[in-house]
Amino acid sequence: MSERYKGILFYTMENDQAIGLTCHFKFEKASVLQKYCPQPSGNRPICNGCGPAGYGAVVPDSILGVDIKICGDIHNWGYQFGLDREDKMVVDETFRDNMDRIIRADFEHETRVEQQKYFEAIRAIKSTNSLVRKIRSRWADYCHQRKTEYLKEMYESRLTIAGDIYAKAVMVFGGSSFWDKRPINFRLEDI
């Protein structure tokens, strides 16, 4: 078993929400150049998002609108520096866990935004006469309920895609990417 150097990367999502993601092999300490600049072996960077390098739209870096590229980057880094089967398993599990964290954080954010919109709508309705207030209140309740149900369905769908497609794909098809290390122009000890 190798030294994984487990760490936490504080990542800021598109909605300006900061969350902690688990990473290994000093990913959080590595420079942008080490992660994203082309390496001498084929001109591809170590970190290239989700899926094998060059596959682009075949393996998207988002799940139903939630950006998970950083999860793929952390996973790629772990594959480059992992040495044994246990490392691969830990890196694959970390990939799924990080996707879950991002999807959950996005759901919590979207739910808070929906709650704020609902409360603002109810506050605005209170200033109208009683008949209009009753109609608008029921409409606001209906819309809020539908939106909340939609957010829950999207959340569950995103988790299903993350677990059943992305996480299983790396466990099944990621072996060659893990075992076939590319030459790079630095060592883990240099970080």
Determine the structural domain holding residue 130 and report its residue range.
7-190
Asked if residue 2 is part of any domain, the answer here is no
pLDDT, one tens digit per residue, over 29-56 is 999 999 998 877 667 889 999 987 766 6
Inside any domain, residue 1? no
Query: C-alpha dihedral over 8, 9, 10, 11, to 10 degrees?
Result: -140
* Position 112 in a domain: yes
Q: Are 90 and 4 spatial neighbours (Cβ–Cβ below 8 Å)?
A: yes
Both tokens of 138, joined, read 């029921």
Q: What is the pTM of this model?
A: 0.90
Residue 58 lies inside a defined structural domain of this protein: yes
- Among the residue ranges 10-14, 59-63, 111-115, 120-124, the one predicted with the least confidence is 120-124
Angle, alpha carbons 14-19-24 (nearest 5°): 115
Report the number of distinct structural domains present in the chain: 1
**pLDDT band for position 1 (50/70/90)?**
very low
Q: What is the pLDDT of residues 68-103, one digit of tens each?
A: 999 999 999 999 999 999 999 999 999 999 999 999
